[in-house]
Amino acid sequence: MRTPLVAGNWKMNKTVAEARELIMVLGGDLKSITEVEKVVCPPSMSLVAVANLLGGTGIGLGAQNMHWEEKGAFTGEISPGMVREFCQYVILGHSERRQYFGETDQSVNKKVLAAQAAGLVPIVCVGETLAQYEAGETAAVVHRQVLAGLQGVDAAFAPKLVVAYEPVWAIGTGKASSGENAESVHRDVIRPALAELFGAQTAEAIRILYGGSVTGVNAAEFFAQPNVDGALVGGASLKPEFIEIARAAAR
Ligand code: 13P
């Protein structure tokens, strides 16, 4: 009942010309995979160019971040309205934003509420660091991030939310979580936290993605888990491998 969602987070990769080329490589095959919601999230610099290539492909477009204010003196930022002009999705609270750019549960929450107001689907990232994982703090950290990040979201909007569980120790390391570990965090921590916020029935409708070293080889193991509703893919989304991952989600 939850449509699988596979999103590619291109991070700070690809010029506009390279972004166009990558869409040419991926677009046709992705278009043919109809059972899965597919999204690409290029750097903001390339959003307009990519938007112009996605018409009629059924591939969604997302930004990797945005500010919560609609306009003003915020040098270097882009606003929800600017994102909404070209995109349907926005990644919020990625661990790299938290780690390198000072994002907190509070700033993530402001952005989530701004996405709701703008009619954007937020892909809200949560996940523990290696130190927190080793200290056995995964459940406490992820529970806190979900509750604080999604506080104040309307129950009517909540089913549109997407949560991405990305353990920081699995991002870009080639050391993916096991399918079983992802399932246990999704089932025992994230979905119950969503139920606390929005009620059990709404929580069942919200998609929870796994992210962190997802590949064409290991994707099927994640998608076989009942509470893994798709993937947020970094490195492998820059290659034709992303098509294989989307195909695995369709099975
Ligand atoms: P990798 O797939 O490169 O590990 O990155 C995951 C990620 O951070 C997606 O947002």
Tell which one of 91, 166, 173 to mutate to probe ligand 1, the residue whose CB is within 8 A of the most ligand atoms: 166
Rounded distance from Cα 128 to ligand 1 centre (Å)? 14
**Residue 46 DSSP code:** G
| CA atoms of 170 and 99, how far apart (whole Å) | 15
Instruction: Give yes or no for a contact between 50 and 20, defined as CB atoms under 8 angstroms apart.
Output: yes
Would you place residue 95 in the very low, low, confident or very high pLDDT band (cuts 50, 70, 90)?
Answer: very high
Which atom of ligand 1 lies closest to the CA of 164?
A: 10
| CA atoms of 83 and 88, how far apart (whole Å) | 8
Average pLDDT, the chain: 98
Pick 76 or 251 by higher pLDDT: 76
Rounded distance from Cα 72 to ligand 1 centre (Å)? 31
88 pLDDT higher than 90:
yes
205 pLDDT higher than 90:
yes
| CA atoms of 192 and 11, how far apart (whole Å) | 30
Q: Is the dihedral of CA 118, 10, 207, 2 positive or negative?
A: positive
In the prediction, which pLDDT does 114 show?
Answer: 98
Cβ(138) to ligand 1 under 6 A? no
In the prediction, which pLDDT does 84 show?
Answer: 98
What amino acid is encoded at 137 in this protein? Answer: E
Non-local CB neighbours of 243 within 8 Å, separated by 6+ positions: 26, 29, 30, 33
- Going by alpha carbons, the residue nearest to atom 7 of ligand 1 is 234
In the prediction, which pLDDT does 251 show?
Answer: 86
Rounded distance from Cα 92 to ligand 1 centre (Å)? 14
In the prediction, which pLDDT does 51 show?
Answer: 98
Tell which one of 10, 128, 163, 214 to mutate to probe ligand 1, the residue whose CB is within 8 A of the most ligand atoms: 214
Residue 137 phi, psi dihedral angles, 5° rounding: -100, 10
Instruction: Give yes or no for a contact between 6 and 249, defined as CB atoms under 8 angstroms apart.
Output: yes
Cβ(66) to ligand 1 under 6 A? no
Cβ(46) to ligand 1 under 6 A? no
Task: Give pLDDT tens digits for 182-197.
Answer: 999 999 999 999 999 9
Non-local CB neighbours of 77 within 8 Å, separated by 6+ positions: 66, 67, 69
pTM summary value: 0.98
In the prediction, which pLDDT does 1 show?
Answer: 84
Which atom of ligand 1 lies closest to the CA of 96?
A: 8
Rounded distance from Cα 58 to ligand 1 centre (Å)? 23
In the prediction, which pLDDT does 30 show?
Answer: 98
**CA angle, 213 then 218 then 221, to 5°:** 120
**Residue 129 DSSP code:** -
- Domain borders along the chain are 5-250
Share of the chain above pLDDT 70, in %: 100
Would you place residue 250 in the very low, low, confident or very high pLDDT band (cuts 50, 70, 90)?
Answer: very high
Instruction: Give yes or no for a contact between 168 and 127, defined as CB atoms under 8 angstroms apart.
Output: yes
CA-atom Rg of the chain in angstroms: 17
For the domain spanning 5-250, the CATH number is: 3.20.20.70
Rounded distance from Cα 2 to ligand 1 centre (Å)? 22
Non-local CB neighbours of 236 within 8 Å, separated by 6+ positions: 214, 215, 216, 242, 245
In the prediction, which pLDDT does 159 show?
Answer: 98
- Going by alpha carbons, the residue nearest to atom 5 of ligand 1 is 234
Instruction: Give yes or no for a contact between 11 and 42, defined as CB atoms under 8 angstroms apart.
Output: no
Task: Give pLDDT tens digits for 131-173.
Answer: 999 999 999 999 999 999 999 999 999 999 999 999 999 999 9
91 pLDDT higher than 90:
yes
| CA atoms of 140 and 201, how far apart (whole Å) | 23
Task: Give pLDDT tens digits for 51-84.
Answer: 999 999 999 999 999 999 999 999 999 999 999 9
Non-local CB neighbours of 24 within 8 Å, separated by 6+ positions: 53
